[in-house]
């Protein structure tokens, strides 16, 4: 199956040196070995002439470094994760590392299976996205691999200065709480000219099993508390379907008890709510202002276009990979929180 290709011995012969020297020139290991410039030159030319590509298999076996990284994702079909993967992958590639993508579908059994595969492939490190929805058992399984790892998303129970339970892995995440607070305050203030009464803002919350979602709900509560207003949080599963259901319940109330603004924990929920508002003939944003979260590509093209919170998804992936590389290099690393950005569009425009 493997095409006949040049090996290190071929290059050594062509350059008139030993295979050790070829290795030293072409793969300067951890502590680079001195090689005379003239020899290095000859080796490089020989390698080019033979179109030599070192065998990652042999290299990994000999060096105890596979150059492979495990990248765990709950669901590749969720547009959030491919962006993260891309950020991680770009950086990995520039370091000569490859990503082994593991799509767990949020299933602990599949995660465990993958960890076994990754062990067999001797990956050098792990980057685990969806860290905010891992169970204690999942975290334990990760810790047990003994591999250096980084989480994307704050694991349940962890704070900036206290790791979660068994696992001492660092994590990177977006500041969901602060961004949710900003989105809520934007809605509160956006009813009309300065001095108008604040809107009645309700929150469509995502699954409580994800810290991402509970952090967004917390940010909403922060803002409501600060404004001295009652919070109203409706639990959902985060889907557009459930957004419709939840919004319908809310918006069918008599006008004086009805929220006139909704901060939704996901764009999907917001899109569901938008559909219901249209069905009920409630003008958006006048009768109902809406802000989602995630900045789905299509949100800008809806009528009205959807306000949202945009996350630096690629940077999350890149940052996680940077931390993983640092851990591989033996450096100490700490959690990292990146800011998110409120994107105001027509669905919450000030009138």
- Cα separation, 270 vs 204, whole angstroms: 8
Query: Considering only residues 12, 150, 167, 296, which one is a binding residue for a copy of itself as defined by CB under 8 A?
Result: 296
Partner whose footprint covers residue 117, from DNA, a copy of itself, none (CB < 5 to 8 Å by kind): a copy of itself
Query: Considering only residues 37, 256, 301, 331, which one is a binding residue for a copy of itself as defined by CB under 8 A?
Result: 301
- Cα separation, 294 vs 254, whole angstroms: 31
- Cα separation, 128 vs 263, whole angstroms: 28
Query: Considering only residues 43, 271, 320, 323, which one is a binding residue for a copy of itself as defined by CB under 8 A?
Result: 271
Specify whether the CB–CB gap between 86 and 314 falls below 8 A: yes
* Tokens of residue 179, six digits: 């961004």
Partner whose footprint covers residue 27, from DNA, a copy of itself, none (CB < 5 to 8 Å by kind): DNA
Report the alpha-carbon angle 53-57-59, nearest 5.
75
Q: Which residue has the tokens 């067999």?
A: 120
* Piece of 99-107, 164-172, 183-191, 336-344 that binds a copy of itself (CB under 8 A): 99-107
Residues 21 to 60: which contact a copy of itself by CB under 8 A? 53-58, 60
Nearest distance from residue 11's CB to a copy of itself, in Å? Answer: 14
Nearer to a copy of itself, 148 or 335 (CB): 148
Beta-strand ranges (E) seen in 22-161 are: 68-73, 98-103, 125-129, 149-152
Q: For a copy of itself, how many residues bind (rule: CB under 8 A)? A: 61
Nearest distance from residue 228's CB to a copy of itself, in Å? Answer: 35
Specify whether the CB–CB gap between 71 and 88 falls below 8 A: yes
Nearest distance from residue 16's CB to DNA, in Å? Answer: 7
* Piece of 162-170, 206-214, 250-258, 272-280 that binds a copy of itself (CB under 8 A): 272-280
Between helix 176-189 and helix 211-226 the angle, nearest 10°, is: 40
Nearer to a copy of itself, 94 or 334 (CB): 94
* Piece of 1-9, 216-224, 247-255, 341-349 that binds a copy of itself (CB under 8 A): 1-9
- The separation between the first and the last C-alpha atoms of the chain, rounded to the nearest angstrom, is 66
Residues 115 to 174: which contact a copy of itself by CB under 8 A? 116-117, 119-122, 124-125, 145-148
Nearer to a copy of itself, 23 or 211 (CB): 23
- Cα separation, 11 vs 15, whole angstroms: 6
- 302 secondary structure, DSSP code: S
Query: Considering only residues 7, 13, 27, 86, which one is a binding residue for a copy of itself as defined by CB under 8 A?
Result: 86
Q: Is 79 in the site for a copy of itself (CB under 8 A)?
A: yes
Nearer to a copy of itself, 2 or 38 (CB): 2
- Cα separation, 113 vs 123, whole angstroms: 14
Q: Residue 192's CB: how many other CB atoms inside 10 A? A: 12
* Tokens of residue 251, six digits: 């918006």
Rg (CA), the chain: 26
Backbone angles phi, psi at 103, to 5 degrees: -95, 105
Q: Is 3 in the site for a copy of itself (CB under 8 A)?
A: yes
Interface residues with a copy of itself (CB under 8 A) are: 1-3, 5, 53-58, 60-61, 64-66, 76-77, 79, 81-83, 85-86, 89, 93, 98-101, 103, 113, 116-117, 119-122, 124-125, 145-148, 240-241, 244, 268, 271-272, 274-275, 278-279, 296-298, 300-303, 328
């Amino acid at each position: 199956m493997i095409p006949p290709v040049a090996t290190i011995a071929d290059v050594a012969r062509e350059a008139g040196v030993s295979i050790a020297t070829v290795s030293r020139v072409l793969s300067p290991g951890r502590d680079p070995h001195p090689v005379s410039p003239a020899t290095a030159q000859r080796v490089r030319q020989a390698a080019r002439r033979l179109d030599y590509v070192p065998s990652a298999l042999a290299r990994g076996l000999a060096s105890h470094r596979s150059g492979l990284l495990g990248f765990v994702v709950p669901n590749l079909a969720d547009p959030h994760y491919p962006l993260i993967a891309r950020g991680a992958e770009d950086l990995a590639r520039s370091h000569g590392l490859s990503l082994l993508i593991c799509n767990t579908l949020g299933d602990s059994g599949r995660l465990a299976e993958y960890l076994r595969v990754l062990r067999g492939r001797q990956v050098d490190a792990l980057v685990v996205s969806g860290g905010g929805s891992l169970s204690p058992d999942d975290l334990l399984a990760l810790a047990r691999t003994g591999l250096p790892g980084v989480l994307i998303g704050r694991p349940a129970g962890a704070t900036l200065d206290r790791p979660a339970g068994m696992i001492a892995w660092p994590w990177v995440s977006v500041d969901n709480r602060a961004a949710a607070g900003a989105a809520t305050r934007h809605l509160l203030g956006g009813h009309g000219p300065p001095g108008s009464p604040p809107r009645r803002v309700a929150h469509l919350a995502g699954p409580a099993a994800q810290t991402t979602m509970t952090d967004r709900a917390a940010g909403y509560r922060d803002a409501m508390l600060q404004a001295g207003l009652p919070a109203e949080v409706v639990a959902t599963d985060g889907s557009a379907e459930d957004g419709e259901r939840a919004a319908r319940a809310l918006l069918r109330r008599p006008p004086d008890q009805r929220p006139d603004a909704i901060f939704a924990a996901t764009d999907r929920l917001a899109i569901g709510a938008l559909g219901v508002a249209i069905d009920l003939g409630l003008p958006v944003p006048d009768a109902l202002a809406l802000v989602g979260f995630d900045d789905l590509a299509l949100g800008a093209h809806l009528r009205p276009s959807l306000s949202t919170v945009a996350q630096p998804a690629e940077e999350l992936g890149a940052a996680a990979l940077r931390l993983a590389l640092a851990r591989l290099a033996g450096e100490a690393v700490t959690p990292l929180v990146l800011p998110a950005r409120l994107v105001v569009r027509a669905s919450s425009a000030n009138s």
